[in-house]
Amino acid sequence: MTRHRVTAALAGLVLTVASPAMAAGLSPQEQKLVAASVAEEARSLALLEKLVNMNSGTLNVAGVTKVGALLQDEFRTLGFDVKWVPMTSVDRAGHIVATHKGSGRGKRMLLIGHFDTVFEPDSPFRTYVRRGDVAEGPGVNDMKGGLVIMIAALRAMQAAGTLKDADITVVLTGDEERAGLPISVSRADLVAAAKTSDMALEFESLARENGKDMASIARRSSTDWTIKVTAESGHSSGVFSDGAGYGAAYELARILDGFRREAREVNATFNVGYMAAGASAAENASETGASALGKNNIIAGQAVAKGDLRTLSNAQTDSIHAKMKAIVGQPLTGATAEIAFGEGGYPAMAPTEGSRKLLARLNEVNRDLGLEPMAELDPLKRGAGDIGFVGDLLPGLIGFGAAGDGAHAAGETMDLKSLDRQTKRAALFMSRMAKP
């Protein structure tokens, strides 16, 4: 084929990818970027299948390490300085920190993701299966699909010549589904990277409502709480008396109903996961339930309950903690109670004007790609994630990953049609952010 024909063929490819209406908003380099994004699809699908078929359940240290090694190679190929951060001190595999130095004139971007899944090696859900435009497999949506999109977008930027100017730090955690404790160790690298960045882009799943892609600028927190009650025990005939009091069961019921009536706030929820009361009551060793012993004619002497709390901001978390403590601190006669809040939770990322400005820029990208604008997703419909650890430090966008269904359950799927548009979105957005 002659050089003239090659040039004509490439021009035809760009025009096929970018319609005339769309191309009007794209520079020649950006049209090349879009074409390069489309060209990544076959390679991305092969990488997706390979990643999904490699078990990386959070507690499978060998498997997480193996997937991490594959991802490190991908970033090195793109010219990133790559570091593996072992997490043996918190009983986890490790994290990836990859840094790309650009011109220093654009926005410094922090890309966030994770390469562990909820599916441990003993899970029967193990294999990648493709059925037309749907892929099924452990972690295909949460979030190995997002990892593939991240890498594909960066490869497209490299091909189009926009990566060289981009200042990007990638932090991929190997324990997002079950963070290692203490958090001060397991999220130290993520927080450090945020302090030298201007924005955070999280490549977890794309949210969709009524067939439309939605944007997320907020994630609610996820923390746990435990209540333990002790009380005077004795013969049931004495219950309610000044001497015997009300017992642990009534005290626990009072506290939980007090939460329902007095501690609620807009955008916040708290759930009771399990509870038990009796002559004796205690959680099991794995904190997955509780048991109690007693008789109908014995006043309950012990009670325990455990649940979670989800809030839209860290200030709201503090507010509800204070309300809960105040309710616990007013015990019935003959009882004492205490509440403890877990250290291993996820902070909130509250919506901010800075994040809304980023969404406006993303919608400019959508317009120029011929895609519909993305509306803000109700944060009540989005779970917690790693971006919450840096949400108070910088603005961000959530959901550059794949669309799909059934995350965290056997049968989890990814909509493969989302691969193309998410790769183009991410590549073009990051390319524009890299400019002065």
List all residues 6 or more positions away from 19 whose beta carbon is below 8 Å from its beta carbon.
370
Domain boundary among 341, 375, 400: 341
Confidence bin at 408 (pLDDT 50/70/90): very high
CA distance 279 to 312: 38
Question: Other C-beta atoms within 10 Å of 315: how many?
Answer: 11
Q: How many CA atoms, within 13 angstroms, populate the side-chain half-sphere of residue 2?
A: 3
pLDDT at res. 7: 38
Domain boundary among 315, 341, 367: 341
Mean pLDDT of 85-104: 97
CA distance 70 to 271: 39
Confidence bin at 286 (pLDDT 50/70/90): confident
Same domain flag for 128 and 243:
no
Same domain flag for 56 and 183:
yes
Confidence bin at 287 (pLDDT 50/70/90): confident
Rounded to two decimals, the pTM is 0.89
- CA-nearest of 176, 216, 156, 177 to 401 is 216
Does 192 reside within a domain? yes
CA distance 271 to 136: 31
Task: State the Cα angle at 213 between 382 and 383, rounded to 5°.
Answer: 10
What would the pLDDT profile of 351-406 be if each residue is shown by its tens digit? 999 999 999 999 999 999 999 999 999 998 988 999 999 999 999 999 999 999 99
pLDDT at position 89 over 60: yes
Return phi, psi of residue 313, to 5°.
-150, 160
Does 4 reside within a domain? no
Domain boundary among 284, 311, 341: 341
pLDDT at res. 25: 85
Does 360 reside within a domain? yes
Question: What CATH number should be reported for the domain holding residue 420?
Answer: 3.40.630.10
Residue 428 near residue 365, CB atoms below 8 Å? yes
pLDDT at position 1 over 80: no
Same domain flag for 259 and 165:
no
CA distance 289 to 272: 11
pLDDT at res. 375: 97
Same domain flag for 78 and 141:
yes
Same domain flag for 46 and 195:
yes
Residue 152 near residue 68, CB atoms below 8 Å? no
Residue 423 near residue 159, CB atoms below 8 Å? no
Same domain flag for 331 and 396:
no
Same domain flag for 57 and 190:
yes
What would the pLDDT profile of 47-83 be if each residue is shown by its tens digit? 999 999 999 999 999 999 999 999 999 999 999 999 9
- CA-nearest of 225, 137, 207, 170 to 386 is 170
Residue matched to tokens 């509800």: 320
Amino acid at 170: V
Specify the pairing of strand 302-310 against strand 223-231: antiparallel
Residue 210, domain extent: 17-219+348-433
pLDDT at res. 23: 52
Mean pLDDT of 23-37: 90
pLDDT at position 247 over 90: yes
Question: What CATH number should be reported for the domain holding residue 231?
Answer: 3.30.70.360
pLDDT at res. 24: 59
* β-strand partners of 376: 215
Here the tokens at position 279 are 């002559």
CA distance 339 to 337: 7
Same domain flag for 267 and 394:
no
Specify the pairing of strand 134-136 against strand 167-173: unpaired
Confidence bin at 343 (pLDDT 50/70/90): confident
What would the pLDDT profile of 156-187 be if each residue is shown by its tens digit? 999 999 999 999 999 999 999 999 999 999 99
Residue 364 near residue 424, CB atoms below 8 Å? no
